Structure 1
Amino acid sequence: MQNQSRILVAVLRDYCARRGLTLTPLCDDWAFVLEGGGRRHLVFGYDLGLNRSTALQVANDKAATHQILTLAGLPSVEHLLFHAPAMAEYIPLPGNWRPMLAYFHRHGGDVVCKPNTGTGGIGVQRVRSEAELEAAVHPLFAAGRSLCLSPFLAIEREVRVVVVGGRGKLAYEKKRPALTGDGATPLFDLLRAEIARQPAAARLLEQEALSGRLGGLDRVPARGETVTLGWKHNLAWGNRPELLDPAAAAPLLALAEAAAAAIGIEVASIDLVETADGLAVIEINAGLMMESFARVSPAFHTRAAALYAEALDRVFAPAGEPR
């Protein structure tokens, strides 16, 4: 995506026009300076410049987030940190492989390997054999300083809560795409039809077809049989946001707000998962990225723009207006 086509860029331009602010784009529309009313404010990427640096550091570190939430008594999906061998000069390392194998087998030979930093599901892999674990670990250590292992969970649903000013303002479930059998059409043809219907999900659908998880693509699902695709819930992988009723979302909002308070973050997207054991925080994103959400419909675009504006009003709301 070209930076100038980002929805946030258009939102910033509209917001500054309405507030009478000067907007200066920098770094190919990746950074912006907003000025007006004696105030000067920076936006970088999807970081709206409203969080303290320590909160940013914690949110960008999955292992640190897990440990701080656990210390606060909040349910959190475990992220066990492993430092790359290149860090041995700074951190005494007893060696990673034996502890990794022990963790892998302690969780039934089914874990998730991911970068300790980063978003969007990039580099996140499910591993179900020692060979897969080794293959997943090496490129992550080559690319970064650390990685995390987490148990693979049977997630019933994943929900994102957008927090502004420490309060949950929006909650939506990330619905994975699914195929419905008709008793006559093979999986391969169902997948092709779904890709044609939903091009945004092509990457996920093709990955599913190649992974072997679905079994033989010549299999004909029974009439009415649902075949859920993928295990990642990222919207960029073709999953669909479904707004939650505020009353039904109350426990989710409460947990997200408690998690935000625990790490001291004001503006964030907080991902929660629901399993047989209940709710838990899986990730906190300091950047407020709502591109995939806003592109679903004009109504969703309006909701995203309003949330961005509410966040920026914490800096630029005129005197007398709430901040």
Structure 2
Amino acid sequence: MHWKIIITAAAATHGVHAAATLRFSCSQLVVERLDPLVNPGLNPSPHLHQVVGGNAFNVSMDPSVHDLPTTATCTSCTPTEDFSNYWTAVLFFRAKNGTFHRVNTFGNELGFTQATGGQTVYYLTTGNAKVTAFKPGFRMTVGDPSFRTAAELNAKYKYMDYTCLQSSMTRGGATTNFPNKPCPAGIMVSIRFPTCWDGKNLDSPDHQSHVAYPQGNSCPSTHPVTVPQLFYETYWDTRPFNDKSQWPTDGSQPFVWSFGDKTGYGIHGDYVFGWKGDALQKAMDTNCNSDLFANKINCNVLKTQSLADANKCTKTTQVAENLDGWMKELPGGMAVM
């Protein structure tokens, strides 16, 4: 079975047909309480994030003065021309005694086992429309950390889900809430972004209004430009917490996002574009694809590095707090609700 076939089947499930299937690993860059999109300049931000990509990530990242390809000196992603930053909230285990322990990420077992955590990033072309790569300064978010019900999530966002991994090959049975049973191979979280852009604004006040989901197979007239389908797969190593004797005594599932969400419906992701020059556009135009069981991008227009080299790109945390071991509360004192 080839990865391109798997991707195409997955895309067809969501009503699209993939052409370019660019898939690669981004190792863990840093875990800390900064959010230059939602809380620019605030150190620390209210809740904890796990970040991958270029090492120019910082507390503000003002697009008028912050050019990622020229300010970053390395990237934790395997394409060496990608200095973008990709980040999500951090998963925690809450034991029945009320204490919390951070859950680590681990390398996707379909080809990226040597990565030091982080996530798998995808850029896909869909349908027959010309795909326009994101522009310098582009940024967006998807999801809403305030959501706590399936109705809220399903009414506004598509394709944000959890897969309880029975093995590394599990790709069925996704849910929009946290799995309610131990997952033998961990939990995979998938976050997909909209694929239509208004063609004018690199950002918007809510970081979302300048993009939209397609209507059927076409972009709406308000957002006529088709951009790559960007999505993240993050493998969370929940395996050390599969002992149900440590789970809450009321039988509820024990995982909580770093912003206090115990339902899973507040799932969200952040993105700041940082590809060098026209590298991403070339990759989309030439329909680049990736092998399933190897860290190999089949794309003669992109330069890549090994997972070992990607692992070397890290940042020292700017927020002084202990994120290891058992904690009495979530970082920042976020309430669980």
Bucket of the pairwise TM-score, normalised by the shorter protein:
under 0.3
Highest RCO, 1 vs 2 (Cα 8 Å, sep ≥ 6): 2
TM-score by length of 1: 0.23
Q: Which has the higher helix share?
A: 1
Larger radius of gyration: 1
TM-score by length of 2: 0.22
